[in-house]
């Protein structure tokens, strides 16, 4: 029988600041073979469903693609990426204040 893990209300970013659902973060991504930063909104937290390894916490993020103007999925003039996941324990993200 597997034990249910409690989902935390927040995680800590690279600077040690609390990141909660709804916060805006900058996080590391790969564009082709180059490292880059992306910006997105935290949608939630969840544990992976690992049958053969230790569960780890993931952050669900809705990112933006400012360079792609051909998509009809937009929010405030920004093109939305498909939601993705970051591994919370790696802490390769920082909380930022959204631009007004």
CATH number for position 19: 2.30.30
Q: Full-prediction pTM beyond 0.75?
A: yes
Residue 5 lies in a domain: no
Residue 6 lies in a domain: no
When divided into structural domains, the chain yields a total of: 1
Asked whether residue 18 carries a pLDDT value surpassing 90, the answer given is: yes
Residue 2 lies in a domain: no
Residue 26 lies in a domain: yes
Q: Which residue range(s) make up the domain with 17?
A: 11-96
- Of 87, 98, 89, 90, which is closest to residue 40 (Cα–Cα)? 98
Residue 3 lies in a domain: no
Residue 83 lies in a domain: yes
Task: Report pLDDT digits (tens) over 25-73.
Answer: 999 888 788 888 888 999 999 998 777 778 889 999 998 876 554 555 5
């Amino acid at each position: 029988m597997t034990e249910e893990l409690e989902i935390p209300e927040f995680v800590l970013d690279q600077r040690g600041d609390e990141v909660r659902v709804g916060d805006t973060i900058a996080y590391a991504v790969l564009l082709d073979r180059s490292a880059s930063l992306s910006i997105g909104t935290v949608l939630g937290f969840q544990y992976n469903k690992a049958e053969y390894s230790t569960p780890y916490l993931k952050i669900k993020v809705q990112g933006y693609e400012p360079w792609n103007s051909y998509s009809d999925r937009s929010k405030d003039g920004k093109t939305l990426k498909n939601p993705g996941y970051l591994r919370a324990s790696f802490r390769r993200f920082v909380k930022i204040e959204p631009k007004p």
